[in-house]
Amino acid sequence: MIDGELQHRRMNGRVSTNSVDAVRTAAIQGLGIAQLAYWDVIQQLREGVLIEIELVDAEPEQLSVWAVTPTRRYVPARVKAFLQLLESVLARLGSHG
């Protein structure tokens, strides 16, 4: 929707990559719509280089972030603190809208 009005666009072509940088660059260059995590484009959204759009008939796949430690028995306090901070930041970013 733009200004409350539903927009329809026909899309041609297909690009496939596993590079966040490549997808972000393609979107910035106007090559199409990109599905990226908020934290991957937060700077570009703030600068107005990219805009967030809502696809009313599509749901993005939920992503997971995993922390792997060598052992569960002893995790240094600084690692626990980092993981708690990371969890907090990701939760805040996930609820941006």
Count of structural domains within the chain: 2
- 49 and 74 share one domain: no
- 25: containing domain: 1-58
At residue 55's C-alpha, the angle toward residues 49 and 59, to 5°, is 115
Give the separation between CA 26 and CA 34, rounded to whole angstroms.
Answer: 8
- 68 and 40 share one domain: no
Q: What per-residue confidence (pLDDT) applies to 95?
A: 60
Q: Give yes or no for a contact between 93 and 39, defined as CB atoms under 8 angstroms apart.
A: yes
Give the separation between CA 69 and CA 59, rounded to whole angstroms.
Answer: 32
pLDDT (tens digit per residue) in 12-55:
777 778 899 999 999 999 988 898 888 899 999 999 999 998 87
- 12 and 54 share one domain: yes
User: Higher model confidence: residue 57 or residue 53?
Assistant: 53
Phi-psi region of 30 (alpha: psi -120 to 50; beta: other; left: phi over 0): left
pTM score of the predicted model: 0.55
**94, pLDDT greater than 80:** no
Structure tokens at 32: 């199409």
